[in-house]
Amino acid sequence: MTKTIDLRSDTVTQPTRAMREAMLTCEVGDDVLGEDPTINRLEARAAALLGKEAALFVPSGTFGNQCALATHINAGDEVLLSEGAHIVVHECGAAAYLAGAQLRCIPPSNGSRLTVADLQPRLRVGDDIHIPRTGLICVEQATAFGELYGLADLQAIYAFAGAAGVPVHLDGARLFNAALALDVSPAALAACADSVTFCLSKGLCAPVGSLLVGTRAFIAKARRRRKLMGGGLRQAGFLAAAGLVALDTQVARLADDHRHARLLADLLTRIPGVTLSREPAINMVFVRTASPQDPAQTLAALTAQGVLTYAPENGEWRFVTHQGIEETDVRLAAQVLARCWGPQS
Residues comprising the chain, all counted:
345
DSSP 110: B
Neighbouring residues of 19: CB distance < 8 A, sequence distance ≥ 6:
205, 206, 207, 241, 242, 245, 246
Q: Where are the beta strands (DSSP E) in the chain?
A: 5-6, 54-58, 78-82, 102-106, 134-140, 168-171, 195-199, 210-214, 274-276, 284-289, 307-308, 317-320
- Same structural domain for residues 66 and 149? yes
Last residue of a domain, one of 249, 272, 300: 249
Total structural domains in the chain?
A: 2
Q: Which residues pair with 106 in a beta bridge?
A: 82
- Same structural domain for residues 88 and 208? yes
In angstroms, rounded to a whole number, what is the distance separating the alpha carbons of residues 35 and 58?
A: 16
Averaged pLDDT, groups of 10, the chain, 345 residues long: 89 97 97 97 98 98 98 97 97 97 97 97 93 97 97 98 98 98 98 98 97 98 97 96 98 98 98 95 96 86 96 94 97 96 64
In angstroms, rounded to a whole number, what is the distance separating the alpha carbons of residues 283 and 174?
A: 10
Last residue of a domain, one of 227, 249, 271: 249
- Same structural domain for residues 244 and 115? yes
- Same structural domain for residues 137 and 282? no
Tens digit of each residue's pLDDT (9 = 90 or more) over 73-99: 999 999 999 999 999 999 999 999 999
Long-range contacts of 310-318 (CB under 8 A, 24+ apart): 310/8, 310/9, 315/288, 316/277, 316/286, 316/287, 316/288, 317/286, 317/287, 317/288, 317/289, 318/284, 318/285, 318/286
CATH number, domain containing residue 302: 3.90.1150.10
In angstroms, rounded to a whole number, what is the distance separating the alpha carbons of residues 340 and 293?
A: 9
- Same structural domain for residues 116 and 193? yes
Q: Nearest CA to 166 among 120, 107, 204? A: 120
Tens digit of each residue's pLDDT (9 = 90 or more) over 33-84: 999 999 999 999 999 999 999 999 999 999 999 999 999 999 999 999 999 9
Asked if 80 and 136 touch (Cβ cutoff 8 Å), the reply is: yes
Pairing verdict, β 102-106 and 134-140: unpaired
- Same structural domain for residues 259 and 307? yes
pTM attached to this predicted model: 0.96
Domain of 64?
17-249
- Same structural domain for residues 239 and 260? no
- Same structural domain for residues 176 and 195? yes
pLDDT at 291: 74
- Same structural domain for residues 59 and 207? yes
pLDDT at 343: 64
In angstroms, rounded to a whole number, what is the distance separating the alpha carbons of residues 56 and 65?
A: 12
Last residue of a domain, one of 249, 284, 302: 249
Asked if 316 and 253 touch (Cβ cutoff 8 Å), the reply is: no
- Same structural domain for residues 192 and 327? no
CATH number, domain containing residue 123: 3.40.640.10
- Same structural domain for residues 188 and 53? yes
In angstroms, rounded to a whole number, what is the distance separating the alpha carbons of residues 164 and 321?
A: 39
Q: Which residues pair with 104 in a beta bridge?
A: 80
Q: Which residues pair with 57 in a beta bridge?
A: 211
- Same structural domain for residues 218 and 95? yes
Dihedral class, residue 340 (left if φ above 0, else alpha if ψ from -120 to 50, else beta): alpha
